[in-house]
Structure 1
Amino acid sequence: MEEDEAPCLSNLKRQLEEVEALRSIYSQEGEFQLTSAEKIALQMLQELDDISALELLTISFTISLKETQLFGRPISVAFSFPQGYPEACAAKVTVDCGGITRHWHECLNIGARSVAESMVGEEAVLQVLQKVQDLALELQEAEKCKSSKLSTMEPELQNNVLPSLKRKLMWFHHIKSIEKRKAIKDWGGELKLSGYCKPGFPGVLIFEGEDDNVSEYVKRIQKLHWQAVSVRAEEEEVGSSGRSIDDMRRFQLGIEEVGENGMSQLAGFCRDARLEHLFLSALKIAR
């Protein structure tokens, strides 16, 4: 064996030993899930005296924390071991819990990855899983406290909940019908939305407003007959105490229509409103 191969094989041995330990700990059905490639590799390992044939293997697996849930939703943690793990680099970690908010997802993933990155040189999976379990408990306790405080607040104080503005961009194969164009503008006014519509080929509609009103607007538009329509991008902006939805708007109230050849004009409006990233998503361009 050449000298530069030794660290790679050393890491692989440690990875495989860690996997075997984890499989024994998370032995209930569905708790430990290997990909088919790793299952084959581990079977090969039992039959080989020399594991150098497996040195290019990337080990990936998912652990379902059946005893830990976040607001009644199961948590799973996916791991991938780079060749340098654990001696020279961190394990890659992704935490998933369906149905929770983006903020909670970010808290879980940031916490898990910080532990993984702090443990370079050591096997980290169990510590990462412990961190995820601790965070799930902390998030639930924090949400309970928040709900308890809101329920005991005076009605006028409850109005101080931070405002939230939703934005969406919808993409259409085309918008030609006069009736549909009128409905887009009329419904936008009724629901107190702000934004722009570019009719023609293709059609683009970008708008913002209160969450419930934005959802209702999308439902109404999707019920119309379109050759093709999709929500290409969306985002939520949470304001600070004392601000209103109107303070957070980037566009003037109402849905304004640009010309059928007004794609560059629409891009300019989005750029001026610091929402160019939403416009670029309509062209499937990430920046």
Structure 2
Amino acid sequence: MSCLEWAESQLAELELLTSMFPTQEELEMTDQLAVAELRDYVECSDSTSSPPSSRPRFVIKQKLPTTSMEGMDVILSCAYPSEYPNELPEISVRCAGLSRAQQTQLHIDLNAYLMENCQGEVCVLSAMEWVKDNMQLFINKSLSAGPTPKKEYSSLRPQEVFSRLWIYSHHIYNKTKRKNILEWSKELGLSGFSMPGKPGVVCVEGPQSACEEFWSRVKVLTWKKIMIRHREDIPLDHQGEDGKTVGNKDSLRKFTGFEEVAFDPHGNRGNHMDLGQLYQFLNEKGCCDVFQMYFGVEGK
């Protein structure tokens, strides 16, 4: 499909959703300008037209139907990647009746369903129907599991493990994903950095349990490609190179806090970073050996 055909499919689905959910309480377009630009591109396109850079985003809110969930809202937030429906949309689901663990599992199962059944087709309605059909199962699991004690990520007990995850993504453009990365790292008490663009690089460090929780949230978002390129796991009671027992997580941190970094953004969309500056940044943090693991070449 061409860019114009993708845009036509997106606009047709938006018009269908608007007809099915006519009130703002049911369907809210969170970026009206993006929708207007999409419409202009479809209706006025010629061989020289460039596709719009902004992407439509919207929220669908529905009441769950069964007795045990009566009155409970399910909220589906969606953003179209530029090549949708060739790529799956970015969908997140929220429901007050689910624990965070249940929401994570729901996203995993929903993405698996869409990958298997809806690749190459518009699929927001299919996603909504799947959520409504399967939510009862997740509610039941959540209720049967009972309340779980809140994890404490800000401190490490003796004999726990300090971890550092080096995550590689084909690209990180989406503002919502970038916001999630910043907010989740802060919530979990992790330090490190995120470099958006193409490719995308994320490093998080802290208690192993917190790093694993961060990864479990990030990996279920819709990505073209994402992986842990390298990881470091250090038991807190091990002996360091100086012969002293390591027992303080702060002594192992390479970074102070968590930040999003950019290195001379360039390219047509400003999405490519100067990798030489990234290497210098890693070198200053004592992590320059990771550069070759990411890119297969020695930095300079």
TM-score relative to the length of structure 1? 0.49
Please report the TM-score for the alignment, with normalisation by the length of structure 2: 0.47
Compare CA radii of gyration and give the structure with the larger one.
Answer: 1
